[in-house]
């Protein structure tokens, strides 16, 4: 791609963490034993780096435990903004995770940004995974909310809240080694308010896990959305230092099939698109499966449907076979999963004030019975038995002439994409892998050429025809000549009609008499429809033109043989059409003559063989 800038000046790869500052114009990249500071305007500008290795004693213990030298390094997995001048960074540190603070500033002498590591080092347990390959997620919003494991083997995975810089909140987590609570691979986490009261704020986690409700021997994997209240302080007598508001529900992305059997997509990646209403962002999920067939899909969810699932019935184990069923018993008050706030009940100012029956109910009922269904009931995009699988997604909401459009930027396999960051201010997409970081422009209007028709047929909300060429569309532009039609892609209604319009590329092709010649026409837009037509000569065009037309007159060319015949005999369009009409007339006459002969033979047979 000619618009891509690729940065590969890193020392040792493993670029799993990206952090973008739109206002200051820098991009932090976390790699193996290093943190890099890049200029977001262009990655080919000079970059800076900090060396942050694992301690020697930690590397030695890691090697003694049987890990490879490659794994026993400090892979930077977490970069989260703390304030305007500092970033919180965590790394695996040879299976002994550690965190520190990164100070960023601007040098007046050098006229460029600089950064440096703090001497303060904190434990990374419950904040960052031990392994460089373990899936995890974290979100710093006052406190650090993380989905990760806290042991060397990665068996004790949970959702944690840990304090940063003396926060008033204390350490809290999901129950340990209880698969009814969690058995996860974490995907993403997001802080989303539920109401205008900050006491109702929640953190949503997206994950995939082996389905406990599917049966003991069933190894199927379900995608989930889970949530916790930010002000959860745990229980007073039960669930001490454990979440008392933790709930989870299944995310369904399926294609309806015959006999009511749906095709399920379960592997997951999530992007939450912020909207003007902070309480109701749009959730995009990329799902894939390889169990029965190779396929992937994109589903879209609303926060209304997610909240409806959490406000619905609970799942429950009962009966002689101990199956999961819908819980139809009495639900205690306040409803389990509700945040303590004045919105619902001023008497419950903390989760420690919840009645014992609420806490006991939460210990046994984390799973919701009803799943979260996508908007429209099915995926908006599917790929089945394709050469690639959809793995990552980021979404940009673009204002076009006829309203906003959500543009999906999708990362595919087999290339292992580690992270994707979108810059709406600079109109850039940053994609990291083991090899480096790529910078891609969101709009590439120059690919559509200078013609109005090609630009319109592209149906690209980033682009419009400005009267001279296909260029970036600006919502504040007042130019009358600007043309765009994303919904229909109809050049006839958008593009001006002029007599001297010549948007057709002219190619001279030489042929040999008696041989065939290959004619090729490659459309600039995937939405364009190719039509083979015959252009009249200059004199014939002057005589036969009726009105204005920026396309040549279309001829009913039935085959390549017809096209060759027209070119070889130098027939005009009218002469060629008359020739086709005469040939068709002769064919009809032959059919009528044949039919009359057949009827005459039948009449003679009847006269020679009268009925007895």
Q: How confident is the model at residue 213 (pLDDT cuts 50, 70, 90)?
A: confident
- 170/173 Cα distance (integer angstroms): 10
**Per-residue pLDDT at 386:** 84
- 416/405 Cα distance (integer angstroms): 28
Q: pLDDT for 452-495, tens place per residue?
A: 888 998 999 999 998 889 999 988 766 566 889 899 888 888 88
Count how many Cα atoms sit within 13 Å of the Cα of residue 488 in the half-sphere of its side chain: 7
Q: pLDDT for 405-423, tens place per residue?
A: 999 999 998 878 999 999 9
**Per-residue pLDDT at 499:** 45
- The percent of residues above 90 in pLDDT, for the chain, comes to 55
Q: What is the architecture, at CATH level 2, of domain 443-510?
A: 2-Layer Sandwich (3.30)
For residues 529 and 277, the model is more confident at: 277
Instruction: For residue 209, list its beta bridge partners.
Output: 184, 222
**Per-residue pLDDT at 385:** 82
For residues 592 and 505, the model is more confident at: 592
Q: pLDDT for 368-393, tens place per residue?
A: 999 999 999 999 999 988 888 999 99
pLDDT beyond 70 at 9: yes
**Per-residue pLDDT at 354:** 93
Of 198, 153, 16, 192, the C-alpha closest to 90 is 16
Least confident of 114-123, 214-223, 425-434: 214-223
Q: Is the peptide bond before 605 cis (omega within 30 degrees of 0)?
A: no
pLDDT beyond 50 at 504: yes
**Per-residue pLDDT at 599:** 78
Q: Note the maximum CA span of the chain.
A: 122
pLDDT beyond 90 at 609: no
Q: What is the mean pLDDT of residues 70-78?
A: 96
Q: How confident is the model at residue 291 (pLDDT cuts 50, 70, 90)?
A: low
**Per-residue pLDDT at 326:** 94
Q: How confident is the model at residue 557 (pLDDT cuts 50, 70, 90)?
A: very low
Q: What is the mean pLDDT of residues 130-149?
A: 95
- Work out the number of other CB atoms within 10 angstroms of the CB of residue 136: 24
- 484/469 Cα distance (integer angstroms): 12
pLDDT beyond 70 at 14: yes
**Per-residue pLDDT at 327:** 95
pLDDT beyond 60 at 572: no
Domain locations in the chain as residue ranges: 124-434, 443-510, 531-612
Least confident of 37-46, 192-201, 232-241, 575-584: 575-584
Q: How confident is the model at residue 564 (pLDDT cuts 50, 70, 90)?
A: very low
Residues 53 and 72 sit within 8 Å (Cβ to Cβ): no
Q: What is the mean pLDDT of residues 91-115?
A: 87
pLDDT beyond 60 at 1: no
**Per-residue pLDDT at 130:** 96
* Same CATH fold assignment for domains 124-434 and 443-510: no
pLDDT averaged over the chain? 85
Quick one: fold of 124-434?
Methylamine Dehydrogenase; Chain H (2.130.10)
First to last CA, the chain: 87
Q: What is the mean pLDDT of residues 576-580?
A: 64
pLDDT beyond 80 at 545: no
pTM of the model: 0.81
Residues 55 and 73 sit within 8 Å (Cβ to Cβ): no
Instruction: Say whether 23 sits in a helix, a strand or coil.
Output: coil
Who's near 611: CB < 8 A, 6+ residues apart? none
DSSP type of residue 352: G
Of 303, 311, 306, the C-alpha closest to 335 is 311
Handedness of CA 7, 10, 15, 21 (dihedral sign): negative
Scan for tokens 């030489």, then name that residue.
Answer: 510
Of 64, 63, 92, 62, the C-alpha closest to 76 is 92
Q: How confident is the model at residue 215 (pLDDT cuts 50, 70, 90)?
A: confident
For residues 345 and 101, the model is more confident at: 101
pLDDT beyond 70 at 544: no
**Per-residue pLDDT at 550:** 35
**Per-residue pLDDT at 318:** 82
Instruction: Say whether 273 sits in a helix, a strand or coil.
Output: strand
**Per-residue pLDDT at 551:** 38
For residues 265 and 49, the model is more confident at: 49
Scan for tokens 């290795």, then name that residue.
Answer: 53
Least confident of 2-11, 115-124, 314-323: 2-11
In the chain, count H helices and then E strands.
8, 32
pLDDT beyond 70 at 44: yes
């Amino acid at each position: 791609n000619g618009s891509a800038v690729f940065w590969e000046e890193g020392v040792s790869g493993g670029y799993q963490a990206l952090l973008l500052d739109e206002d200051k114009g820098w991009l932090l990249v976390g790699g193996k034993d290093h943190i890099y500071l890049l200029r977001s305007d262009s990655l080919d500008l000079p970059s800076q780096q900090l060396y942050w290795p694992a301690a020697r004693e930690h590397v030695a213990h890691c090697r003694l435990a049987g890990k490879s030298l490659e794994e026993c390094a400090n892979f930077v997995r977490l970069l989260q903004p703390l304030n305007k001048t500092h970033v919180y960074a965590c790394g695996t540190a040879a299976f002994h995770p550690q965190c520190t603070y990164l100070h960023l500033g601007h040098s007046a002498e050098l006229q460029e940004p600089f950064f440096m590591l703090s001497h303060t080092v904190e434990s990374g347990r419950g904040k960052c995974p031990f392994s460089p390959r373990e899936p995890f997620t974290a979100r710093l919003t006052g406190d650090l909310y993380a989905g990760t494991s806290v042991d060397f083997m990665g068996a004790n995975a949970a959702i944690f809240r840990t304090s940063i810089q003396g926060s008033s909140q204390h350490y809290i987590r999901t129950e340990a080694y209880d698969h009814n609570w969690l058995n996860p691979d974490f995907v993403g986490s997001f802080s989303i308010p539920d109401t205008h009261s900050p006491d109702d704020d929640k953190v949503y986690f997206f994950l995939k896990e082996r389905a406990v409700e599917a049966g003991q021997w069933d190894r199927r994997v379900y995608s989930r959305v889970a949530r916790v209240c930010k002000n959860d302080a745990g229980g007073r007598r039960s669930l001490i230092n454990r979440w008392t508001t933790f709930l989870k529900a299944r995310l369904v992305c399926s294609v309806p099939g015959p006999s009511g059997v749906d095709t399920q997509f379960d592997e997951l990646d999530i992007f939450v698109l912020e909207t003007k209403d902070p309480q109701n962002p749009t959730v995009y999920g990329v799902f894939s499966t390889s169990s029965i067939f190779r396929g992937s899909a994109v589903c879209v969810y609303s926060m209304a449907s997610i909240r409806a699932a959490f406000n619905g019935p609970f799942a429950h184990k009962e009966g002689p076979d101990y199956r999961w069923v819908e819980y139809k018993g009495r639900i205690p008050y306040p409803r389990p999963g509700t945040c303590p706030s004045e919105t619902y009940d001023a008497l419950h100012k903390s989760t420690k004030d919840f009645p014992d029956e609420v806490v006991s109910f939460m210990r046994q009922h984390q799973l919701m019975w009803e799943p979260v269904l996508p908007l429209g009931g099915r995926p908006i995009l599917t790929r089945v038995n394709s050469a690639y699988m959809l793995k990552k997604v980021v979404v940009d909401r673009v204002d076009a002439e006829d309203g906003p459009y959500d543009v999906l930027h999708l990362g595919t396999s087999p290339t292992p994409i580690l992270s994707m960051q979108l810059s709406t201010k600079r109109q850039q997409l940053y994609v990291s892998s083991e090899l480096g970081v790529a910078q891609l422009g969101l709009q590439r209007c120059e690919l559509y050429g200078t013609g109005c028709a090609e630009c319109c047929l592209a149906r690209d909300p980033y682009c419009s025809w400005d009267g001279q060429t296909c260029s970036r569309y600006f919502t504040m532009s007042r130019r009358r000549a600007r043309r765009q039609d994303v919904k229909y892609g109809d050049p006839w209604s958008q593009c001006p009609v002029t007599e001297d319009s010549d948007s057709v590329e002219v190619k001279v092709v030489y042929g040999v008499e008696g041989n065939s010649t290959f004619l090729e026409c490659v459309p600039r837009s995937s939405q364009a429809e190719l039509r083979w037509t015959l252009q009249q000569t200059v004199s014939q065009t002057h005589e036969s033109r009726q009105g204005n037309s920026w396309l040549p007159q279309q001829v009913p060319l039935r085959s390549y043989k017809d096209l060759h015949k027209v070119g070889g005999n130098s027939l005009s369009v009218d002469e060629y059409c008359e020739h086709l009409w005469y040939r068709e007339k002769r064919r009809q006459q032959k059919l009528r003559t044949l039919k009359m002969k057949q009827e005459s033979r039948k009449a003679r047979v009847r006269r020679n063989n009268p009925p007895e």
